[in-house]
Amino acid sequence: MKVSLFITCLGDVFYPGVGKDMVELLERHGCEIDFPENQTCCGQPAYNSGYHKDTKKAAKHMIKTFEHANAVVTPSGSCAAMLKEYPQLLKDEPKWDERAEALAEKTYELTQFLYRVLHVTDTGASLVAKATYHTSCHMTRLLGEKEAPFQLLSNVKGLQLKDLPNKQNCCGFGGTFAVKMTSISEQMVDEKVDHVEETEADILIGADSGCLMNIGGRINRKNKPIKVMHIAQVLNSREA
């Protein structure tokens, strides 16, 4: 199956290793990777800030960029959710609404694609560690994906997964929220770090680089001995 990779801004600039793990994972499960080099930001920062006219420009560009794709896969529940928002954004433009719907229907977050499309439950990964998983807001509330990450992580050999207290709570990132509402965001991420510590986990795992950047940054500032890993890195681990 040919898969078009949407790497996202954070993946491109800060976490290129996540993209590499994602490619290796998909190739190991029979996928041929296509990487459209013309891809850009999905427009989510502008959309969340109320600049919908500017967001439409980004959306139309991304629709054209991925129009040839059979499936679009991204290592971000948040950015996948934004592509699925395009039909609503462009609903009043007859030339674009059907094209937006077509892109939304073939877009998947990585674990969602592995579990629901390729029907993978065991990636063959092994990682000896005690870990906990952060359920990001967009992944669970907008994509509605609550099962795929846990099914895949449950079959990682050597991984002891601890339940994260109050896992439904936001980490305080929220894209522009962390910038506009700094003091509130800081309290939220402090609570999240406290809950991660309660699990006594060695590793915090997540499926959104934005959340991991926010929580990981706070963990580093507090000098906590907790490693942060994207789920693509865990599912591609071959430690033991």
pLDDT digits (tens, 9 = 90+) for 161-193: 999 999 999 999 887 888 888 999 999 999 999
pTM greater than the 0.85 cutoff: yes
Mean pLDDT of 13-41: 97
Give the pLDDT confidence of 146-166 residue by residue, as tens digits.
999 999 999 999 999 999 999
At 177 the pLDDT is 86
Q: What is the band of 240 on the pLDDT scale with cuts at 50, 70, 90?
A: low
At 174 the pLDDT is 84
Q: Is 30 left (phi over 0), alpha (psi -120 to 50) or beta?
A: left
Question: What CATH architecture is 122-236?
Answer: 3-Layer(aba) Sandwich (3.40)
pLDDT over 90 percentage in the chain: 94
- Average pLDDT over the chain reads 95
Paired with 108 in beta bridges are: 73
Give the pLDDT confidence of 197-237 residue by residue, as tens digits.
999 999 999 999 999 999 999 999 999 999 999 999 999 99
At 175 the pLDDT is 79
pLDDT over 70 percentage in the chain: 100
Distance of CA 86 to the CA centre of its chain: 18
Three-state secondary structure call for residue 128: strand
Return the number of other C-beta atoms located less than 10 Å from residue 33's C-beta: 14
Give the pLDDT confidence of 83-138 residue by residue, as tens digits.
999 999 999 999 999 999 999 999 999 999 999 999 999 999 999 999 999 999 99
- What DSSP letter does each residue of 33-89 carry, written as one string? EE--TT----SHHHHHTT-HHHHHHHHHHHHHHTTT-S-EEES-HHHHHHHTTHHHH
Q: Is 108 left (phi over 0), alpha (psi -120 to 50) or beta?
A: beta
Mean pLDDT of 4-33: 96
Mean pLDDT of 3-29: 96
Q: Domain extents for the chain?
A: 2-116, 122-236
Paired with 205 in beta bridges are: 133, 229
pLDDT at residue 3 greater than cutoff 90: yes
Please report where in the chains the tokens 């850009």 appear, as a residue. 40
At 128 the pLDDT is 96
